[in-house]
C-alpha cells in the first residue's frame, strides 16, 4: 500500500508554475520612531517571533521546497515548516529572491486568518541563524539562513493518512459528515476573506486530538483578484485541480469548490484517486473526457449530488462554498 501511495504521489502532485509574486507584502512596519530596530538595520514584521525560543526537532514530512518538523516554541508543542531561504553557494540570487517572495506570500495570507477549521499560524522567522535544530541524538545545531513557519502541532496527522488507515472499513457516516462540514466551514471562511487556497487536498488538512479538521499549507494561496483574468497559471495538485486551472484559463474561488467535491469523494470512499492512470493519461481524461471519480452505488443520493455539482466542468455551475456549508449543517 505504501508503494502504491508513493507512486500515486509522484503522479498526483505536479511542480507547477512558480508562485505568484504579485500578491505584495503584507508586512505592517512599525513606525520609524522605533529606534532600537532602526539601529539594527531592520524593521520587525508583526508576524515575527523570537527565533531563540524555537527548537526544531523530529522530521515529519519532506517536500520539494520545504520540510515539516515537530518542534518546541517557548514550551509550546508546534509544527515547523522549514524553508532553506538561501545558501549563496548553492542558489542563485534569483532563486533566493523567489524563495523569500514565496515565503512572504504564504505568511502574509496565513497570518491574518483565524477560524476553528483553519490551522492557526503562531508566527514566522525569516533568514536567521538563531534557530536551534535537535537531531536524533539530542545534539543541537544551528543551520544558517532558514525561514520557518510555526503553527500548533496537530496529533491526528493529515486527513490523507487517516483515510488510508480506514481504507478497508471506511468511515462511519457520522464521521464523514462531520469532516465534510469542517472542510466546508473552513473553505467558506477563506472565501469570505477573499482567499483562494488553490491546493485544497487531503494532504493539506490536519486533524487535532478530537478529529476536528483544519486546513493548512497556504503556500500557493492568494487573495482573489477582482478581475478573473489576473488569476491564471497551473497551480495545485493533479487529481484535485479544476479543469480551468489545468487549461491555464482564468479562474476564481470556484477552483476550491471543485477540489472540495473531490475531497468529499475521497472522504466517503477512503480510497486513492485514479491509482492506475499516469500523469498524461489523467490530464487528458479530466480535460477532454470529463473523467471524475466513480461514486459508489451505496453513496446517498444527496451526497452524490453535491459531489457532482462541485466538480462540474463549468465553474459557473458549481455552488458557492457557503451553500455547501449549509448542505452539511446537522
Cα gap 283→287, rounded to integer Å: 6
Spatial distance between the Cα atoms of 116 and 182, rounded to a whole number of angstroms:
9
3-state secondary structure of 15: coil
Q: What is the DSSP string of 293-327?
A: PPPPTTS-HHHHHHHHHHT-SSGGGSPPHHHHHHH
The catalytically annotated residue of 20, 34, 72, 199 is: 199
Catalytic residue at 199? yes
> Mapping DSSP to helix (H, G, I), strand (E, B) and coil, where does residue 26 land?
coil
DSSP for 195-259 reads: EE-S---GGGEEE-TT--EEE---TT-EEPPSSGGG--S--SBTTTS-HHHHTT----THHHHHH
* Whether the Cβ atoms of residue 237 and residue 245 lie closer than 8 Å to each other: no
Give me the residues paired with residue 68 across strands: 61, 81
Compute the distance between CA of residue 315 and CA of residue 307 in angstroms, rounded to an integer: 13
60 DSSP assignment: E
Residue 224's nearest CA partner among 242, 198, 205 is 198
Q: What is the 3-state secondary structure (H, E, C) of 120-170?
A: CEEEEEEEECCCEEECCCCCEECCCCEEEEEEECCCCCEHHHHHHHCCCCC
DSSP 73: E
Q: Can you tell me the distance from the alpha carbon of 167 to that of 267, in angstroms, rounded to the nearest whole number? A: 10
The residues annotated as belonging to the active site are: 199
Amino acid at each position: 500500500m505504501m508503494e502504491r501511495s508513493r507512486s500515486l504521489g509522484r503522479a498526483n502532485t505536479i511542480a507547477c508554475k512558480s508562485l505568484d509574486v504579485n500578491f505584495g507584502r503584507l508586512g505592517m512596519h512599525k513606525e520609524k520612531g522605533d529606534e532600537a530596530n532602526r539601529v539594527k538595520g531592520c524593521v520587525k514584521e508583526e508576524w515575527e517571533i523570537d527565533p531563540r525560543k524555537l527548537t526544531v526537532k523530529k522530521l515529519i514530512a519532506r517536500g520539494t521546497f520545504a520540510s515539516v518538523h515537530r518542534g518546541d516554541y517557548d514550551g509550546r508543542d508546534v509544527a515547523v515548516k522549514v524553508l532553506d531561504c538561501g545558501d549563496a553557494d548553492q542558489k542563485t540570487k534569483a532563486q533566493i529572491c523567489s524563495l523569500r517572495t514565496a515565503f512572504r506570500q504564504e505568511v502574509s495570507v496565513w497570518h491574518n486568518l483565524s477560524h476553528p477549521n483553519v490551522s492557526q499560524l503562531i508566527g514566522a522567522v525569516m533568514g536567521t541563524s538563531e534557530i536551534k535544530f535537535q537531531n536524533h541524538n539530542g545534539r543541537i545545531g544551528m543551520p544558517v539562513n532558514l525561514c520557518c513557519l510555526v503553527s500548533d502541532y496537530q496529533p491526528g496527522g493529515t486527513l490523507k493518512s487517516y483515510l488510508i488507515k480506514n481504507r478497508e472499513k471506511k468511515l462511519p457516516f457520522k464521521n464523514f459528515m462531520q469532516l465534510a462540514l469542517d472542510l466546508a466551514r473552513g473553505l467558506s471562511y477563506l472565501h469570505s476573506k477573499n482567499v483562494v487556497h488553490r491546493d485544497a487536498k487531503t494532504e493539506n488538512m490536519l486533524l487535532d486530538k478530537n478529529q476536528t479538521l483544519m486546513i493548512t499549507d497556504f503556500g500557493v494561496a492568494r487573495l482573489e483578484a477582482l478581475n478573473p483574468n489576473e488569476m491564471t497559471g497551473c497551480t495545485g495538485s493533479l487529481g484535485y485541480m479544476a479543469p480551468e486551472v489545468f487549461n491555464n484559463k482564468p479562474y476564481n474561488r470556484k477552483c476550491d469548490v471543485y477540489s472540495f467535491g473531490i475531497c468529499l469523494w475521497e472522504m466517503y470512499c477512503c480510497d486513492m484517486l485514479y491509482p492506475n492512470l499516469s500523469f498524461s493519461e489523467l490530464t487528458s481524461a479530466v480535460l477532454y473526457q470529463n473523467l471524475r471519480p466513480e461514486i459508489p452505488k451505496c453513496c446517498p443520493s444527496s451526497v452524490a449530488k453535491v459531489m457532482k455539482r462541485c466538480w462540474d466542468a463549468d465553474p459557473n455551475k458549481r455552488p458557492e462554498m457557503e451553500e455547501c456549508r449549509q448542505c452539511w449543517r446537522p
